[in-house]
Amino acid sequence: MKEITLTNDLLKIVILPYGGIIKELWYNGINVVLGHENSDSYLDNPWKIGACIGRYAGRLSSSFTLENKTHKLVNKKGIQLHGGSAGWDQSTWKIYDLYHGSTPHLTLKHRCIEENSGGHPGTIDVSLKYSLYLNKLIIEYKAITDKACPINITNHSYFNLSGAAELNDHNLMVNSAKTLELDKNLMPTGKFKESFGTEFDRNKMRPIGKSRYDDCFILKNNTEIKASLSANSTGIQMDVLTDQPSIVVFNPKELNGICFETQKFPDSPNFPNFPNTIIKPKERYIQKTEFVFSKIKKTF
């Protein structure tokens, strides 16, 4: 399977056109993302490790109504997760632009046709750009469609800033005062939960401890940095900057990493009070997220 490597003075990233996957991301001698050593192992990737998620990141109900038409989605137990079997994590993207200069970047493109979209309307043309600028990994998404449809794209890398078997030495901050209320199937109810004084209050950096999340944190707009992760043992910190309204934080007990899925809300087409995810012809979906790495003094 083809691999593409970008490097600058501070970062190295290895990308697979299959799934738009980030296979490796190196900073200060540490590979800070989980990944398989053998690229062919990603052909069976149930945890979506490192992948580009689309056309709709997160959970969608089995149907939604758009322009007076109900669209029934391919689903499991009433839920389509991360685009289902037609998800972009299982597609081979085309290499459109590759540059190894002072600001190296790779742009991948994919066409998701309506007939193979898991029940979604419209054919989408999407581009995915990875760039390295100083100590930043910048991910940019752009998409257009020939029919009105929901679009919600994210990256599904699991970060571990120390390489340890657990995240016990990691600290987490999320600039959020509310999370989405979820039902027993982790589907949103349409309501918001205040985080203050709860396990979801992460507005100050504190140890992850035994906390497990698969939750949508609604981001505040008062700071540029939306989330931060640090590791005591290596002194590495990663700050997350994004133009999206939420981050799904996911650190399953089965893996020693944590996801920061910058995106709009899950199941937004079924909740008029959620941020709009509908893109119409002649409109353009644009998203930008940055992961910024630095060395800090060990203060925890």
Specify the pTM. 0.96
* Residues 4-295, CATH architecture: Distorted Sandwich (2.70)
B/e letters for 169-191, b = 16+ CB within 10 Å, e = fewer, are bbbbbbbbbbbbebeeeebbeee
Outline where the chain has alpha helix (H): none
Give the pLDDT means over successive 10-residue stretches in the chain (300 positions): 97 98 97 97 97 97 96 96 95 97 96 95 98 98 98 98 93 97 96 95 95 97 95 96 98 97 98 97 97 78
Give Cα separations from 165 to 56, 170, 206, 299 (angstroms): 31, 12, 19, 22
pLDDT at 300: 43
- For 250, the enclosing helix (H) or strand (E) is strand 246-250
- Closest CA relative to residue 39, chosen from 26, 27, 24, 57: 24
SS3 state of residue 151: coil
Contact 60, 80 (CB under 8 A): yes
Beta bridge partners of 233: none
- Closest CA relative to residue 151, chosen from 283, 293, 300: 283
pLDDT at 297: 66
Please report the DSSP string for 148-186 in residue order.
Answer: -EE-B-EE-PEE-SS--SSSTTEEEEE-EEEEEEE-TTS
